[in-house]
């Protein structure tokens, strides 16, 4: 049964990421509702209805959590991103940084499966999930483990200022828990 759920989670995650790279703003309630419709059968419950933008519309119901991240590479201190702020202020030179983070669904599921990218530690994030100063704010930098993984995957592919869109989808499987076997879940991640 989890194999079937895994296929569905992969399809939904890919579709959400495909819309994300084409400009869909998942910080809006209407786009979160669309994701919820795509995830029919996966028990996705989004948080409360809102107008405008909400980068973290999570509740504690449902069995699904979606995390969307836009990650940018900041080049050397001589690169355009660093020279635009001054090379001495370019805190995140030669690093991958969050430029946007949006999360919706059951927020309690982060205890079972946290984002493999970690979380931005900066407080300078808009209601749309946009990181205000990704080049100069050390809190925008990906945590060490994710930084290492991204450098291995994308260092040669991305140039200064180029971005990668990442969609992560976790769906727990409480209906498949049997006796002493704890409930598990399925996880999918797509990079575009």
> Does pLDDT of 5 surpass 80?
yes
Q: What's the rounded Cα separation, in Å, for the pair 7 and 131?
A: 32
Q: What's the rounded Cα separation, in Å, for the pair 11 and 49?
A: 25
For the segment 51-89, what is each residue's pLDDT rounded down to a tens digit?
999 999 999 999 999 999 999 999 999 999 999 999 999
Q: What's the rounded Cα separation, in Å, for the pair 190 and 172?
A: 18
For the segment 117-146, what is each residue's pLDDT rounded down to a tens digit?
999 998 899 999 999 999 999 999 999 999
For the segment 36-49, what is each residue's pLDDT rounded down to a tens digit?
999 999 999 998 89
What mean pLDDT comes out for the span 170-176?
Answer: 78
Residue matched to tokens 């998942």: 26
Higher-confidence position of 43 and 182: 43
pLDDT of residue 125: 94
pLDDT of residue 183: 57
pLDDT of residue 174: 67
- How many C-beta atoms surround the C-beta of residue 35 within 10 A? 25
> Does pLDDT of 182 surpass 90?
no
Query: H or E element: which one contains 163?
Result: strand 163-173
Tokens read off for 50: 């809102």
pLDDT of residue 176: 58
Q: What b-and-e string marks burial along 96-128, b requiring 16 or more CB atoms within 10 Å of the CB?
A: bbbbbbbbbbbbebbeebebebbbbebeebeee
For the segment 96-113, what is each residue's pLDDT rounded down to a tens digit?
999 999 999 999 999 889
How far is CA 80 from each of CA 139, 151, 155, 157, rounded to the nearest angstrom? 21, 19, 17, 17
For the segment 141-164, what is each residue's pLDDT rounded down to a tens digit?
999 999 999 999 888 889 999 999
CB-neighbour burial class of residue 140 (10 A; exposed 0-12, middle 13-18, buried 19+): buried
> Does pLDDT of 32 surpass 60?
yes
CB 2 within 8 A of CB 9: no
Name every residue whose Cβ is closer than 8 Å to that of residue 179 and which is 6 or more positions away in sequence: none
> Does pLDDT of 179 surpass 70?
no
pTM tops 0.75: yes
pLDDT of residue 108: 93
pLDDT of residue 69: 98
Q: What's the rounded Cα separation, in Å, for the pair 24 and 35?
A: 11
- How many C-beta atoms surround the C-beta of residue 24 within 10 A? 17
């Amino acid at each position: 049964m989890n194999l079937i759920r895994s296929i569905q989670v992969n399809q939904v995650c890919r579709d959400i990421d495909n819309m994300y790279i084409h400009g869909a703003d998942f910080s809006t309630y209407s786009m979160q509702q669309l994701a919820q419709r795509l995830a029919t059968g996966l028990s996705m419950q989004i948080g409360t209805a809102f107008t405008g933008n909400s980068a973290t519309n999570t509740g504690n119901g449902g069995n699904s959590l979606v995390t969307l991240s836009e990650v940018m590479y900041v080049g050397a201190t001589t690169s355009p991103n660093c020279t635009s702020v001054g090379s001495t202020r370019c805190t995140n030179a030669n690093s991958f940084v969050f430029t946007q983070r949006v999360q919706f669904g059951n927020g309690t599921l982060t205890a079972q499966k946290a984002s493999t990218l970690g979380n931005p530690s900066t407080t300078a994030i808009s209601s749309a999930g946009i990181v205000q100063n990704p080049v100069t704010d050390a809190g925008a930098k990906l945590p060490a483990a994710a930084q290492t993984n991204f450098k291995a995957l994308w260092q040669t592919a991305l140039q200064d200022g180029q971005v990668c869109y990442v969609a992560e989808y976790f769906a727990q499987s409480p209906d498949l828990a049997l006796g002493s076997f704890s409930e598990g879940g399925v996880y999918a991640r797509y990079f575009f």
